[in-house]
Chains A and B, each alone.
Chain A
Amino acid sequence: MSAKKRQRQSFIDWVDERVGIKPALNEMLYHRVPRSVSPLDFLGLASLFVFINQFVTGMLLAMFYQASSSTAYQSIQYIMTKVPLGWVIRDLHYWGANAMVVLVAMHMLRGFYVGAYKKPREITWITGVVLLFITILFAFTGYLLPWDQLAIWAVTVGTNMARATPLLGHQGPFGPQLGMTPRYDARAFLTAGTLVGAPTLLRFYVLHCIFIPIIASILMILHFWRIRKDGGISGPL
């Protein structure tokens, strides 16, 4: 046993004595997996990796992006042409967003086909389904932020669907009876008005950068905790 090894051991002991980190480390580093693993077992890990990529590049982009209708488009032009490596960071975020939707959808399909939603893994499945919708919400809110024609009209079309929400949309079943009007319904709540405009941009930006990441992080902690406790789908119950 080398001296370096002894020192590392004692540091981990020091932390463990105070916060009890050893069971968690053991679970993470020495987790037993079956001998036969398939690339499909790693779709969740790949999604996590892309999420971390989105988190890091998103924080960096937020230092240059200006979420106001008069500056949003120009600030992205500035990132793409003037900021050193700005185009790399934005392209990582852009392609990461596309990859994440694909990976998370594949991850869900795989879980569905192998019956991973069955008892006792229901909590993993339910949080996973919510996380799938969260991923799509991430993509949808992020789509508006470049503030070009594509963004504005895509979000106009997307939010128009909310008009037909049952009970909460003014064109949906029982919406008018509950007092929904074009000005006060689910769509107006999303777009902060009757049109996709400057208030929508700010609302989507705050949803994209604050609300959704916090909800996603909490659900991911739940999701990972249950995977470790119940065993991954690749292992026997």
Chain B
Amino acid sequence: MCGWETGNETDLCDECAGKATHSNDLSRRRFLGWGAVAVGGLIGIGYLGSALRLLYPTSVGGPGKLQDIGPVDSFPVGQYILTSYTGDGYDDGVYVMRQTGSQFIALDFHCTHLQCPVQWFQNLERFLCPCHGSQYNKYGQHIAGPAPRGLFHHTIKVASGRVLLGGQIT
């Protein structure tokens, strides 16, 4: 009878009370008990930390970092120019077209089927995917092939005569 069984301190045997024969000794039972608590606590902290990181709000889907890709006048009206966006930490091909005066459209060059780079054909006014034949019109809308949706857009803005390209949006 010791420990929780009696609940009476005076009934605790030396081992349960964490007292070894010598006052400074750590009993084997106590050492293993705290060891188990420590290992369990570390695992728990790992899970809790991952969960908090997972649930922490992110800026994904927002405009992302804006990147200067040149003056407005360097973009001819009605023609797609392949440029790259590096704001996500890697090179990402983006087709940029000046529609009218300061109206721009920016399309991610990855086919939405299996991420192959699509090619712009000016004479057809279409984006064609070399891998499985998906086709998109000049606004990036899906018109043929296995792709499930149109091309992804990028944020694009004009500020004081400069074109600013941002991250991918839907």
Contact = CB atoms under 8 A, between A and B. Distances in A.
Interface of A: 1, 5-6, 9, 12-13, 16, 22-23, 25-26, 29-30, 56, 60, 63, 82-86, 88-89
B34 interface: no
Given A1-B9, A82-B60, A26 B54 contact: no
B54 A22 contact: no
A109 to B, nearest CB: 27
B5 A22 contact: yes
Nearest to A56: B47
B5 A26 contact: yes
Given A1-B17, A84-B56, A84-B58, A22 B51 contact: no
Q: Which of B3, B4, B16, B56 has the most CB of A within 10 A?
A: B4
Interface of B: 2-5, 7, 9, 16-17, 47, 50-51, 53-56, 58, 60
B4 A25 contact: yes
A22 B4 CA distance: 6
B53 A84 contact: yes
B55 A26 contact: no
B6 to A, nearest CB: 9
28 contacts: A1-B17, A6-B9, A9-B9, A12-B4, A12-B7, A13-B7, A16-B7, A22-B5, A23-B4, A26-B3, A26-B5, A29-B3, A29-B4, A30-B4, A30-B5, A56-B51, A60-B54, A60-B55, A63-B55, A82-B58, A82-B60, A83-B60, A84-B56, A84-B58, A85-B50, A85-B53, A85-B54, A86-B54
Nearest to B2: A30
B45 to A, nearest CB: 13
Given A12-B4, A26-B4, A89 B17 contact: no
A52 to B, nearest CB: 9
A84 B2 CA distance: 48
Contact of B7 (A5, A22, A84): A22
A60 B51 contact: yes
Does more than half of chain A's interface fall in helix, strand or loop, or is it mixed? helix
Contacts of B51: 56, 60, 89
A9 B5 CA distance: 12
A86 B54 CA distance: 6
B60 A88 contact: no
A5 B17 CA distance: 9
B81 to A, nearest CB: 27
A83 B9 contact: no
A89 B54 contact: yes
A8 to B, nearest CB: 11
Contacts of A5: 17
A105 to B, nearest CB: 24
Contacts of A13: 7
A82 B16 CA distance: 50
Contact of B54 (A1, A6, A23, A83): A83
B3 A83 contact: no
Contacts of A82: 58, 60
